Structure 1
Amino acid sequence: MATNNIINAITEPFKTLRNTTFARLYFAQIASLFGDAFTWLGLALLTYEISPRYAAAILASALTLRVTAYIIFSPFAGVVSEKFQRKQILLITQFARMAIVCMLPFVNAEWQLYALIFALNVFAAFFTPTYRAIIPQIVEKEIYREANGLSMATFQLLSVFGPALAGIVAVWLGATQIFFVNGATLFIAILFILSIPKASLQRGVSSDNAVPQKTWGEVLKGIRLLFGNKIVRFALSIEFISAVAGAVVLVNTVGLVKTSLELDDKHYGWIMSVFGVGAAITAFLLGSLDKSKTRSVSLISGAMLIGAAISFANFVPYNGLMFLWILAGIGQTLADMPSETLIGENIEPKDQGKVYGAHFAFSHLWWAIAYPIAGFLGTQFPNREFLYGGIATIVLAIIAILMFRKSN
């Protein structure tokens, strides 16, 4: 019986691919995300070619521009997705991204790199919220959690294994030529999108949205709806707490492994892989296992788990750290993933586009705030950064829980 339950939990998310519209959109996402791994590895190599001495600063600036583009343009993307043909939005953004990544091999100056990276992520900021707003409209309500889980798990897995494969290909093709691989994958994504009937992607879009309205008003409405729903607001607060813990992991693990534990790059690669795998497996299974109407248990347990896991990181050997980082990956998915489902379940279909756009912007704003916090802990408390980061995570989670219960 238990074996059958496990098998069902593993296979159930793939049943969502019987929905041909979702399947085509899902494979377009795979192609796009797979190519992105090549671009971001190629970007690191390209910055070193431009300026070996200042490569880290250039890369950090490029990544900051990436987050900035998301924060500025994502709320508008949600509004645009409700007023224009979604198929056109997906195709235009993918064509533009394909053109931009194919220009990156010819960059020979910092300003060119910054301009292209910012433009690339402006179009990504329009693509992703539109993609997320489409999913709850094209899949049956009964399988939405599984579809969302499959999508999120794919993102996590490709973020782990994509760069590793990109590194292998880079040895074969060269540092700059791998940008053309992303161009090819984006072209494949375009072909999948072209195969989807236009009407299928317009489901849930009210004709009222075609009436001209002030864009700023619609953006503010998306933000009000995002923070106006109690459970969605609670989920967003947990996402911020999870971002603080996640940023501590991403920023400070390399120092913990290479300085404190005196190990090499290989060990750092393995430790970050298990973090990603823990997150991916949880995303894959969560949609199948969680059939409840509330996600509060997942949100609370996720925040507490990642906080507790990183709290002990300064005091364990490498094998212990491997175990803790699996738990941290699980906790991060439990804390982050319910927001996507909650928006689909609690926001009216005609408003979901603008709310997904607002959510995408604020979720990246949380990371923009969390990264400096993680950097401060790492520089000021080099032997206790994870302990203090974990304590802060747990304390913030308790405050969020108490405020949520008080509002009910």
Structure 2
Amino acid sequence: MPALRGLLADTRPLAEPHYRRLWLANIVTVIGAQLTVVAVPAQIYGITGSSAYVGLTGVFGLVPLVVFGLWGGALADAVDRRTLLICTTFGLIGTSALFWLQAAAGNTNVWLLLGLFSVQQAFFAVNQPTRSAVLPKLLPAHLLPAANSLNMTVFQAGAIAGPLVAGALIPVLGFSWLYLADTVTLFATLFAVVGLPRLPVEGAITSPGLRSVVDGLAYLRHHPVLLMSFVVDIIAMVFGMPRALFPEIAHTSFGGPDEGGLAFALLFAAIPAGAVLGGVFSGWVSRIERQGLAVIWAIVVWGVAMTGFGIAAGLADGAAGTMLAVAVGMLVVGGAADMVSAAFRTSMLQSAASDDVRGRLQGIFIVVVAGGPRIADVVHGSAAAMVGAAAAAAGGGVLVVVGTAVAALAVPAFVRYRLPRPTGDESAPAPGSA
């Protein structure tokens, strides 16, 4: 079945042993990380009985992601990236172990828990830009889209499996065992990063301070293609991410109970499920040369899918079951399109930027990815109060399509951007063969 093999995920990056070890370790650690993602708010609610305190995880998580995402990117352009990965992985292991210790000791201080969460997110914010910045040192440019697709597939699969596992295990084992599982699984990543070669930065900066962060932002001003990769993502997420509307739509459009239910669960699982499907059938991404145009089309598909989701929610009266299936289908399509967009945008940042600025650009990427959906929560919540949840979701999708079209017309260089296919690649493993 050559045609089917060409559609399945391109596994050629796994032929590179260092990348393969990182990827296999990520399969283990992403599940452990998702256990902590679920356990922290659940423990906070168990201590306080207050959703307001649970909501503070957004603030305590976002602030270190922004601050240390930007500064961590500068660090990744100043020091050996292998060394930085080892240090931050030890930091993640240490904070996870402290989560386990406080839970095992019966901690009831919510501020201690929130403080640990902030420290963990700070280490994560330094670690992630560094991990992304090392890929061009391990793989040729034409395999970066495939490698990023493989990474995102694992992450999104963990985003589905982790909460399911955590939800089942918390009542049985309690919080401490989940934190301990996260701690243990992180040693797989430590083993993988210790095995990397030295990864010095070409033209490394000497002072990873505020000035270097500003210089990284200024770099974007002179590289409109890279700047646009952030702009179109902000358009897609701020206007098109309707997750804040899922509780209301599940209840009012599809008849679910106030506190959740099947419709609520399906809506929340649909986008990551679509991303996983998009990753499984991502074998074609390595054959795309016009990556800028591919990003534009992927975001347009995302916008159309979110419009369809809103329309389905608005038409659910009297046909809730059918429209729920349509709405979930639209979110699945959107998730697949978002995975494609993210894979190409990440690859463009890795291949089109010089090595001495890759870390800072990946730090900005972390900030945009973390901040965009949170801004979307505010925007969609406010819009829903004025026009209704279904109309807010549909209108946001329309704005994504319009905004993306305007951006493409304003910066045609982004649409024209292509990554030339290398010659002499006949010896590389075929997609799906590694």
Task: Identify whether the pair has TM-score above 0.5, normalized to the shorter chain.
Answer: yes
Q: What is residue 61 of structure 1 aligned with on the other side? A: 56
CA contact (8 A) 2:69 2:367 kept: yes
How many Å apart are 1:251 and its aligned residue? Answer: 1.1
Asked if 2 retains the 8 angstrom alpha-carbon contact of 1:42 and 1:178, the reply is yes
For 1:159-238, what aligned pairs fall within 5 Å after superposition? 159-194=159-194, 196-199=195-198, 202=199, 205-206=201-202, 208-209=203-204, 212-213=206-207, 215-238=209-232
Query: Deviation at 1:123?
Result: 0.4
Aligned counterpart for 2:253 among listed residues 256, 260, 274: 260
Q: Deviations over 1:78-133 (max 9, x none)?
A: 22123223222222222222222232325412221221111110000010000000
Instruction: Assess, with a 3 A threshold, how the Cα gap between structure 1 residues 330 and 214 changes in structure 2: closer, same or farther.
Output: closer
TM-score, with normalisation over the residues of structure 2?
A: 0.84
Please state if 1:305 is matched with 2:298: no
**Corresponding residue number in structure 2 for 1:321:** 327
Give 1:192 deviation, angstroms.
2.6
- Pick the structure with more helix per residue: 1
Residues 405/86 of structure 1: CA separation in 2 closer, same or farther (3 Å cut)? closer
Q: Deviations over 1:25-68 (max 9, x none)?
A: 2223233322111001111210111111x1x2222211222122
Is the 2:8–2:283 contact (alpha carbons within 8 Å) kept by the matching residues of 1? no
Q: 2:272 aligns with which of 271, 276, 299?
A: 276
Unaligned 5+ runs, structure 2: 317-322, 417-434
Shift in CA distance, 214/191, structure 1 to aligned 2, threshold 3 Å = closer
Contact 1:240 1:366 in 2 (8 A): yes
Q: Work out whether residues 146 and 286 of structure 2, in 8 Å CA contact, stay in contact via their aligned partners in 1.
A: no
State the superposition RMSD in angstroms: 2.3
Q: Specify the SS of the correspondent of 1:337.
A: helix
Which of 4, 27, 32 is the matching residue for 1:6?
4
SS in 1 for 2:56: helix
Per-residue CA distance 1:229-249 (angstroms, 9 max, x = gap) = 22222221111122124531x
2: distance between equivalents of 1:145 and 1:331?
14
Change (3 A) 1:339 1:21: same
Deviations 1:222-273 (A, max 9, x none): 212234322222221111122124531x111122112321125223222332
Identity %, equivalent residues:
17
CA deviation string 1:288-335 (max 9, x = no partner): 335233223322222222222222232242111122111221232233
The amino acid that maps onto 1:198 is P
Residue in structure 2 matching 1:24, options 16, 21, 24? 21
Match runs of 1:317-356 below 5 Å: 317-356=323-362
CA 141–405 in structure 1, closer or farther in 2 if over 3 Å, else same: closer
Change in CA separation of 1:127 and 1:221 when aligned onto 2, cut-off 3 Å = same
Paired residue for 1:50?
Answer: 47
SS in 2 for 1:364: helix
Q: CA deviation at 1:145?
A: 1.9
Q: Once structures 1 and 2 are overlaid, which stretch shifts more, 395-404 or 340-349?
A: 395-404
Partner of 2:119: 119
| Partners of 1:28 and 1:305 in 2: CA distance | 32
Letter matched to residue 2 of structure 2:
N
Given residue 261 of structure 1, which amino acid in structure 2 is its aligned partner? Answer: F
Note closer, same or farther for the CA distance 1:177–1:83 as it changes in structure 2 (3 Å cut).
same
State the alpha-carbon separation in 2 of the partners of residues 260 and 390 from structure 1: 18
Structure-2 change in CA distance of 1:374 and 1:176 (3 Å): farther
Alpha-carbon distance change, 335 to 146 in structure 1, aligned in 2, over 3 angstroms: closer
Return the alpha-carbon distance in structure 2 between the equivalents of residues 345 and 198 of structure 1: 20
Give the conservation status (yes or no) of the 8 Å contact 2:278–2:336.
yes
Name the residue aligned to 1:385.
392
CA distance, structure 2, for counterparts of residue 287 and residue 131 of structure 1: 23
Structure 1 residue 337: Cα displacement: 2.7
- 1:143 paired with 2:128, answer no
The one-letter amino acid paired with 2:24 is F
